[in-house]
Amino acid sequence: MAILEVKDLTKKYGVGDGEVVAVNQISFSVEKGEFVAITGASGSGKSTLMNMIGGIDTPTSGEVLIDGKCISGMSEDELAIFRRRNLGMIYQFYNLIPTLTAEENIVLPWRLDGRKRNDEKVKEILSVLGLSERAEHLPGQMSGGQQQRVSIGRALINDPAFILADEPTGNLDSKTSGGIIDILKYTNERFGQTILLITHDEKIALSADRIITIGDGRIIRDEVMNR
Ligand SMILES: Nc1ncnc2c1ncn2[C@@H]1O[C@H](COP(=O)(O)OP(=O)(O)O)[C@@H](O)[C@H]1O
Ligand SMILES: [Mg+2]
DSSP classification of residue 86: H
Distance CA 62, CA 221 (A): 20
* Residue 2 counted as domain residue: no
Distance CA 163, CA 171 (A): 19
Number of domains observed in the structure of the chain: 1
Predicted local distance difference test score (pLDDT) of residue 5: 97
Predicted local distance difference test score (pLDDT) of residue 105: 97
What does each of the 227 residues of the chain score in pLDDT, given as a tens digit? 799 999 999 999 998 899 999 999 999 999 999 999 999 999 999 999 999 999 989 999 999 999 899 998 888 899 888 888 889 999 999 999 999 999 999 999 999 888 899 999 999 999 999 999 999 999 999 999 999 999 999 999 988 989 999 999 999 999 999 999 999 999 999 889 999 999 999 999 999 999 999 999 999 999 999 76
* Residue 194 counted as domain residue: yes
* Residue 164 counted as domain residue: yes
* Residue 92 counted as domain residue: yes
> In terms of residue numbers, what domain contains 182?
30-44+73-224
The SS3 call for residue 192 is: coil
Closest-CA residue, ligand 1 atom 27, reads: 43
Judge if the beta carbon of residue 11 lies within 6 A of ligand 1.
no
Q: The domain spanning residue 176 has which CATH number?
A: 3.40.50.300
* Residue 78 counted as domain residue: yes
* Residue 6 counted as domain residue: no
- Which atom of ligand 1 is found nearest the CA of 167? 21
- Distances 95 to 31, 76, 102, 106 between C-alpha atoms, Å: 28, 20, 12, 12
Judge if the beta carbon of residue 45 lies within 6 A of ligand 1.
yes
What pTM was estimated for this model as a whole? 0.92
* Residue 128 counted as domain residue: yes
* Residue 195 counted as domain residue: yes
Q: How far is CA 30 from the centre of its chain?
A: 14
Judge if the beta carbon of residue 208 lies within 6 A of ligand 1.
no
Predicted local distance difference test score (pLDDT) of residue 88: 92
Predicted local distance difference test score (pLDDT) of residue 87: 92
For 75-85, letters b (16+ CB in 10 Å) and e give: eeeebeebbbe
In 42-115, where does DSSP find H-type helix? 46-53, 76-86, 102-106, 108-113
Distance CA 8, CA 157 (A): 31
- Can you say whether the dihedral through the CA atoms of 182, 183, 186, 192 is positive or negative? negative
